[in-house]
Structure 1
Amino acid sequence: MIRVRKPAEPPKVLRTKGARVRRSHCAAYSRAPRSYENGRKSFEFDPNIYGHETVKQALREAQHGKCAFCESKLAHISYGDVEHFRPKAGWRQEEGAPLGRPGYYWLAYEWANLYLACTLCNQQFKRNLFPLRTPSRRARSHKEDVTAEDPLLLDPAVDDPEAFISFREEVPYSVKGNARGKETIRIMGLNRDALAEQRRRHLRHVKTLQQIIELRAPQAEEARNLLLRMQQDSEEYVSMTRAFLR
């Protein structure tokens, strides 16, 4: 994972249609909070708003066409899902725990809560998991402040993931054993076998370029330029590359 820098201004569809639906949902919850908390009522979310092509395109550009979590190029593996960092319909503190309702419904169309993720990171691993270090601090409705929460998952637009997660070769680990890095690796499946194999292949290229430079081969200057490019945010698995070369 690397830091994601989104444009300050959300796409228009979130500022207009998304804002209207948010107001409607907040009003509905205020009229019957218990019904939404016990599951008798639930919100309907419109993927044509939060998943609008202008939203996806803005996220693609901000994320350099990569999954916000595993750093794989989305064009290689999937079209990409618009992922809600704080789950919109319901949340779980841990795997197998009861589903907490109604979820972060008021953030379903909030720019700060949206990322583009590969299908595996979003649907197979994270799903509706959103653990907090202190569960009692969880915001249960739009009337509470999410900034008082202490999430264990790293938020790539708020946190600097490279300060929490580093690599030994292709294997991610939490820096100084910190809990947030450890939980992010576990929940997002950042050490899954197929992903580790992709990083291993990438690292072989890095090592080859390094050897060419050290041997002062005729291609050394070209190798040096390629290695510099591979350390830019736009490149796949750049957090691993930077950690290896650091």
Structure 2
Amino acid sequence: MRHIERLPEPAILKQKHDEWQDKFEQAKKQNPKARPDSTKYGNPGIRKNLEDCSYGKCFYCESKLSGASKEIDHFIEVAIDSKQAYTWTNLYLSCSNCNDKADHNTIPVNTALDPCRDSDEEIQANITFEDECICSQHGSQKGLNTIKKYHLGTELLDMKRGKWLRHIMKDIIDIQNRMITDERSLPTKDEQQRIKRYMQPDQPYSLMSKVFLEKNFDHLLEAAYENQK
């Protein structure tokens, strides 16, 4: 999870919000179990803005999304507040794993992290990683709640994150081999940027990558290039 800056409300939602919300409220009067129309809040213009907010990643677990795996989650569930069915700030891009979250009665949203509200500093103060395994930072209850609510510790996510770490390691080994061949003790500036690229928010699992690289390869990240001039 990384902090997400939400883009302005899509034009289609500004135009249609009241109409869509009114229709949903009428439907609920007929059937209390009625759900909002996913073809409306999943409108291509809305979906595109959400994808742009998170670089095409799940807001919660940072998995890159494609095709049918892209789902739109109501951060505050419609069963809790039906008036937020078509509210822009309540719509989050999610993978199917995270969208199958624990409900509000089990873990309220205000007891877990919110990528659109919480800063990167706040997120990292509550969750961290041991290699591909996510865990709470210093036993943080908010971190534990976040992991449980959005199922961030599933075997599937461990496999995906582990695969990404192996990809990073392959790149680092290549850089280290080049350093040995060139008889260098430090990476070049381009090599350092190549490593740091994995920590940027447009990359999959960027928080995990940041924790992993800073813990294991800090000497490469902090190389003093002045010594190479």
Q: TM-score range by the shorter chain?
A: 0.7 to 0.9
Number of corresponding residues: 205
Any unmatched runs of 5+ in structure 1? Answer: 30-34, 91-102, 136-149
The residue correspondences of 1:77-226 to structure 2 (distance < 5 A) are: 78-88=68-78, 90=79, 103-123=80-100, 126=101, 129-131=103-105, 151-160=110-119, 161-214=123-176, 216-217=179-180, 221=188, 223-226=191-194
In the superposition, the TM-score normalised over structure 1's length comes to 0.73
* Residue identity in the other structure for 1:207: M
Determine if contact 2:55/2:202 at 8 Å carries over to the other structure.
Answer: yes
In 1, the alpha carbon distance for the partners of 2:99 and 2:159 equals: 20
Shift in Å, 1:225: 3.2
Per-residue deviation, 1:174: 1.0
User: Contact 1:78 / 1:118 at 8 angstroms: preserved in 2?
Assistant: no
Query: What residue in structure 2 maps to residue 239 of structure 1?
Result: 207
In structure 1, distance between residues paired with 2:148 and 2:35? 30
**Distance across 2 between alignment mates of 1:41 and 1:187:** 25
3-state SS, counterpart of residue 195 of structure 2: helix
Is contact 2:24-2:36 (8 Å) kept? no
1:132 positional shift? 7.9
SS at match of 1:173: strand
Alignment correspondent of 1:100:
none
SS of the aligned residue for 1:151 comes to helix
User: Could you tell me how far 1:208 is from its partner in structure 2?
Assistant: 3.5
Please, what TM-score do these two structures have when normalized by structure 2?
0.78
Residue 205 of structure 1 deviates from its aligned partner by 2.6
Deviation at 1:172, TM superposition (A): 0.7
Q: For the Cα contact (< 8 Å) 1:83–1:114, is it kept in 2?
A: yes
Corresponding residue SS for 1:180: helix
Provide the C-alpha distance between the structure 2 equivalents of 1:22 and 1:78, rounded to a whole number of angstroms: 25
Q: Deviations over 1:61-86 (max 9, x none)?
A: 111011111111102x7340111001
Task: Answer yes or no: is 1:67 the counterpart of 2:72.
Answer: no
Residue identity in the other structure for 2:205? Y
The Cα offsets for residues 140-161 of structure 1, whole Å up to 9 and x where unpaired, read as xxxxxxxxxx712321100133
Paired with 1:244 and 1:213, the residues of 2 have a C-alpha distance of 17
Residue 210 of structure 1: how far off its partner (Å): 3.4
Residue aligning to 2:198:
230
Which residue matches 2:48?
A: 57
User: Would the aligned equivalents of 1:131 and 1:152 in 2 still touch at CA under 8 Å?
Assistant: no
Identity of aligned residues (%): 27
Shift of 1:223: 4.2
User: How far did 1:214 drift?
Assistant: 4.5
Aligned Cα RMSD in Å? 2.8
Provide structure 2 residue ranges, at least 5 long, that are not aligned to the other structure.
215-229
| CA deviation vs aligned residue, 1:46-105 (integer Å, no higher than 9, x gap) | 223211100000000111011111111102x734011100111x2xxxxxxxxxxxx211
Q: SS at 1:41's partner residue?
A: coil
